[in-house]
Amino acid sequence: MAVKSRRTLLLASGALLAVAAVVVPVVAGAASADPASANQPRIVGGDKASLSDHPYAVYLTDGGGNQFCGAVIVSSTAVATAAHCAKAVAKQEMHVVAGREDKRTDEGDVLSVSKIWISKGYSDPTQGDDVAVLTVRGQLDYRPAKLPDSGDAAAYSAGTQATVLGWGRVADGGARSDYLRSAQVPVVSDSDCRSDYSMYDQKTMVCAGYEKGGVDACQGDSGGPLVVGDTLIGIVSFGDGCGKAGKPGVYTRVSAYVDDIQAQAKSRIF
C-alpha cells in the first residue's frame, strides 16, 4: 500500500476512534442495568482479576519493555498468543512476563523467546488462523491453562459463560490497564456471529460478548486467554471497536489448533 493511502487510512481510523469514544459511553450507560457491565473500571466492562485464580495469564513486552499483547501459558516452556502479536515485535526484543499482576511492579519472571511458531495460513486476523506459540528460555513455573479436546464443540455452545483476561485498554480508544483485568462474556452462536461479522469463520473463530455490548476485550488484550474454568477456548483476536452493541469480540477457536499447540508446547529448542 502506498504511504499516502496508508496515512489516509490512519487518519480515517483515527476519526473513527474519535467517534467511537463519543458513542461508547452512551452504550456502556445503556447497558449498566446489567450487573456484568456495572460502572467499574474495565478490560471493557470487567473488573480487577487475580493471578492466583488465573496463573496462566501472561503478557508480552516489546523492545522498550512496554506491554503490547497478552498470552497464555500452555506448558512449562511455551505460551500461546495471537499470530498478529507474534508478528508485531522481533523475536530478539520480545519478552514474556509471567506472575506479574501489576505492570508497575517487578514481580514474577521475565523470559526471552527462543522460538516462534505461527499457524500455517495466517495472513490477517480477519482471515482466521490467528494463533502462535512462543517457546521461552527458562521455565514457566506457573499452572498452565488446559486445552480443550481437538475439535470439541461442546465447549463452544452458545450462552456458555467464559472469562476473558488482559492488561489492555479499559475503554475504546482509552488507556491500557496497569492491572490484570477480567470480564465474563457469553459465547455467541455461530449464526449470530456471522450476522455480526461478514468474515466470521466458525471453523477457526468464536465470538463472545453481549448483543447490547458494554463488556469486551479491547486493544492490548489480543493474544490473551478466553477460558471456561481453566480451559482455554479462545485467544483474543479482533473486534469492531470494543464493547459496541452487535459487535462481540472475535477469538481464535483453540479447539481447531490443539494438535499444533500441543506439539509446540512439548518441543524445545535450546
Q: Report d(CA 80, CA 69) in Å as an integer.
A: 11
Task: Indicate which single residue of 56, 200, 238, 257 sits in contact with ligand ARG (rule: CB under 6 A).
Answer: 238
| Least separation in angstroms between CB 221 and ligand ARG | 5
| Calpha distance 116→135 (Å, rounded) | 6
Q: Which of 144, 213, 214, 220 binds ligand ARG (CB under 6 A)?
A: 220
* Known active-site residue 54: no
Query: What is the C-alpha separation between 171 and 202, in angstroms, rounded?
Result: 27
Q: Which of 37, 75, 119, 222 is catalytic?
A: 222
Residue 147: count of CB within 10 angstroms of its CB: 21
User: How far is Cα 228 from Cα 249, in angstroms, rounded to an integer?
Assistant: 16
Site for ligand ARG in 158-187 (CB under 6 A): 168
Give me the sign of the Cα torsion angle 231, 234, 235, 241.
Answer: negative
Considering only the stretches 27-35, 148-156, 190-198, 218-226, report the one whose residues sit in contact with ligand ARG under the rule CB under 6 A.
Answer: 218-226
Cα distances from 66 to residues 28, 78, 95, 104, in angstroms, run 28, 20, 10, 11
Choice between 205 and 236, CB closer to ligand ARG: 236
Q: Is 226 within 8 Å of 176 (Cβ atoms)?
A: no
Q: Site for ligand ARG (CB under 6 A): which residue of 43, 221, 231, 255? A: 221
Q: Which residue's CB is nearer to ligand ARG, number 186 or number 239?
A: 239
95 annotated active-site: no
**What is the CB-side half-sphere exposure of residue 91 using CA atoms within 13 A?**
13
Given the complex with ligand ARG, which of 208 and 265 has the nearer CB atom? 208
**Which of 239, 253, 255, 264 contacts ligand ARG by CB under 6 A?**
239
Gap between the Cα atoms of 227 and 70, Å rounded: 13
152 among known catalytic residues: no
- Closest to ligand ARG by CB, 89 vs 111, is 89
CB of 244 to ligand ARG, least distance (A): 8
Residues of the shown chain interacting with ligand ARG in the complex, contacts defined by CB under 6 A: 168, 216-222, 236, 238-239, 242, 249
Catalytic residues: 84, 130, 222
